[in-house]
């Protein structure tokens, strides 16, 4: 059965449970980037046109039980109140207190925001009682938390199963994200994929699937050293994650079969240690001396990547090309972000670190789509059925 969309629901005076991704970065209790709140607004505002009986739920960060106050959604509630002109009541202890009763007691201009879902063990454990309590007495469950839709957690993939199909739908953000990712597959070639970051294990699945329909696969970041090692280059002290010869062989065989070009760095910015005061040194070769580690792509690699990007009609980018958090190793990531932003093509960027780089350079408007979900977009492109969507079918 297809998934229902938000504007197929008659929301008038209904009780609505709305799962959003309000996982914003906080510093000393201040929101430092409210992109995710802004991305959630169209759905929230749409619902509020029809009903104020709304209970919003989100996670924030990774609370451990020791540091919960740091991860409170209180600052998010205050900002939401300003943005929608309602009183936002922050509800705690909803693992014990029924949410539906609180909803029934709401005043005309009030809505509920549940305190950080991850303060309760039931969320990550997908506990059936916790799920039941979230949606008991609810008329509609709406999920618009794209950044969390790949999680098998209570509010995402457990709670919706407690309701019939007619009672659940996706919000506008998830719809927009899925359309943007779907378009990558048929927007036109050359389709270039740029992957960086450190963890190869997270990206093997997506690489194998993207090889079915991309033309160029550019590998940067620490991932590149796993590939260079397979190609029998010297990688010195560079981080080599999850080196599995048979998987690497499978990737190259598939690339050959599908005529996909895999591009690796041809030079590197290196140092003896991974630290902010390490002295950066450019190595003009694929091979890295034994006492050095590669921490960014070098100038010739940047030029090669730009050449491929310039001829592309479709581009997907996930993951930094170097340790972009440290200024002397950030040039590769910044240069490639700018190069993609300048292209007249269909471009999508996803992933927390790549997004941070795009925001640092104020390039958000130069991309066709900036995804709010790195992990979710990779799993979608991997061809996996996302648990949060499956639960709405």
Nearer CB in complex with ligand AMP: 312/318: 318
Name the active-site residue from 79, 136, 199, 306. 199
Nearer CB in complex with ligand AMP: 187/272: 272
Q: Which of 158, 160, 294, 373 binds ligand AMP (CB under 6 A)?
A: 294
Q: Which of 73, 154, 198, 214 binds ligand AMP (CB under 6 A)?
A: 198
Q: Is 36 a catalytic residue?
A: yes
Name the active-site residue from 298, 350, 352, 374. 352
Q: Is 322 a catalytic residue?
A: no
Nearer CB in complex with ligand AMP: 34/202: 202
221 contributes a contact to ligand AMP by CB under 6 A? yes
Nearer CB in complex with ligand AMP: 81/356: 356
Please count the residues of the chain. 393
Q: Is 85 a catalytic residue?
A: no
Nearer CB in complex with ligand AMP: 79/338: 338
353 contributes a contact to ligand AMP by CB under 6 A? yes
Q: Is 384 a catalytic residue?
A: no
**What's the per-residue H, E or C state across the chain?**
CCCCEHHHCCCCCCCEEEECCCCCCEECCEECCCHHHHHHHHHHHHHHCCCCCEEEECCCCCCCCCCHHHHCCHHHHHHHHHHHCCEEEEECCCCCCCHHHHHHCCCCCEEEEECCHHHCHHHHHCCHHHHHHHHCCCCEEEECCHHHCCCCCHHHHHHHHHCCHHHEEECHHHHHHHHHHHHHHHCCCCEEEEECCCCCCCCHHHHHHHCCCCCEEEECCCHHHHHHHHCCCCECCCCCCCCCHHHHHHHHHHHHHCCCEEECCCCEEEECCCCCCCCCEEECCCCECCCCEEEEECHHHHHHHHHHHHCCCEEEEECCCCCCCCHHHCHHHHHHHHHHHHCCCEEEEECHHHHHHHHHCCCHHHCCEECCCHHHHHHHHCCCCCHHHHCCC
Q: Which of 236, 265, 322, 373 binds ligand AMP (CB under 6 A)?
A: 322
Q: Which stretch binds ligand AMP (CB under 6 A): 61-69, 103-111, 165-173, 190-198?
A: 190-198
| Shortest spacing between CB 206 and ligand AMP, in angstroms | 12
The phi, psi pair for 19, rounded to 5°, reads -90, 115
334 contributes a contact to ligand AMP by CB under 6 A? no
| Shortest spacing between CB 73 and ligand AMP, in angstroms | 24
Q: Which stretch binds ligand AMP (CB under 6 A): 19-27, 128-136, 191-199, 247-255?
A: 191-199
Classify each residue of 358-378 as buried b or exposed e, where b means 16 or more C-beta atoms within 10 Å of its C-beta. beeeebeebbbbbbbbbbbbb
Q: Which stretch binds ligand AMP (CB under 6 A): 35-43, 55-63, 123-131, 318-326?
A: 318-326
Q: Which of 325, 327, 364, 385 binds ligand AMP (CB under 6 A)?
A: 325
| Shortest spacing between CB 153 and ligand AMP, in angstroms | 20
Q: Which of 323, 340, 343, 355 binds ligand AMP (CB under 6 A)?
A: 323
Q: Which of 122, 160, 319, 388 binds ligand AMP (CB under 6 A)?
A: 319
Residues forming the active site: 36, 199, 352, 375
Q: Where do contacts with ligand AMP occur on this chain (CB under 6 A)?
A: 196-199, 202, 221-222, 239, 294-295, 319-320, 322-323, 325, 351, 353
């Amino acid at each position: 059965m297809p998934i229902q969309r938000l504007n197929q629901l008659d929301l008038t005076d209904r009780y609505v449970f709305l799962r959003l991704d309000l996982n914003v970065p906080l510093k000393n209790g201040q929101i430092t980037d409210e992109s995710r709140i802004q991305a959630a607004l169209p759905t929230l505002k749409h619902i509020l046109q029809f009903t104020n009986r709304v209970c919003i739920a989100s996670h924030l960060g990774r609370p451990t039980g020791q540091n919960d106050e740091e991860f409170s959604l209180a600052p998010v509630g205050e900002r939401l109140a300003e943005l929608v002109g309602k009183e936002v009541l922050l509800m705690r202890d909803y693992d014990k207190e029924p949410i539906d009763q609180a909803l029934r007691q709401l005043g005309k201009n009030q809505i509920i925001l549940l305190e950080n879902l991850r303060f309760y063990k039931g969320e990550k454990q997908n506990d059936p009682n916790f799920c039941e309590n979230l949606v008991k007495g609810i008329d509609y469950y709406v999920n618009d938390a794209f950044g969390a839709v790949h999680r098998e957690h209570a509010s995402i993939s457990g709670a919706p199963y407690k309701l019939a199909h007619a009672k659940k739908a996706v919000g506008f953000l998830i719809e927009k994200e899925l359309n943007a990712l779907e378009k990558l597959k048929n927007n036109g070639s050359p389709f270039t994929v740029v992957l960086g970051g450190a963890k190869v294990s997270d990206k093997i699945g997506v690489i194998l699937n993207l090889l079915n329909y991309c033309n160029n696969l550019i590998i940067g970041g620490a991932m590149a050293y796993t590939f260079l090692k397979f190609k029998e280059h010297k990688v010195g002290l560079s981080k080599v994650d999850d080196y599995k010869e048979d998987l690497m062989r499978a990737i190259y065989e598939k690339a050959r079969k599908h005529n996909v070009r895999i591009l690796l760095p041809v030079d590197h910015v290196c140092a003896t240690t991974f630290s902010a005061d390490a002295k950066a040194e450019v190595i003009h070769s694929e091979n890295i001396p034994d006492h050095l580690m590669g921490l960014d792509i070098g100038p010739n690699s940047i030029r090669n990547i730009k050449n491929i990007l310039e001829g592309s009609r479709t581009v997907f980018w996930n993951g930094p090309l170097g340790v972009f958090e440290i200024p002397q190793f950030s040039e590769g990531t910044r240069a490639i972000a700018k190069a993609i932003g300048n292209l007249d093509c269909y471009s999508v960027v996803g992933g927390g670190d790549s997004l941070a780089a795009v925001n640092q350079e104020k390039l958000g408007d130069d991309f066709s789509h900036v995804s709010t979900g790195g992990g979710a977009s990779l799993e979608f492109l991997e061809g996996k059925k996302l648990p949060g969507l499956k639960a709405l079918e």
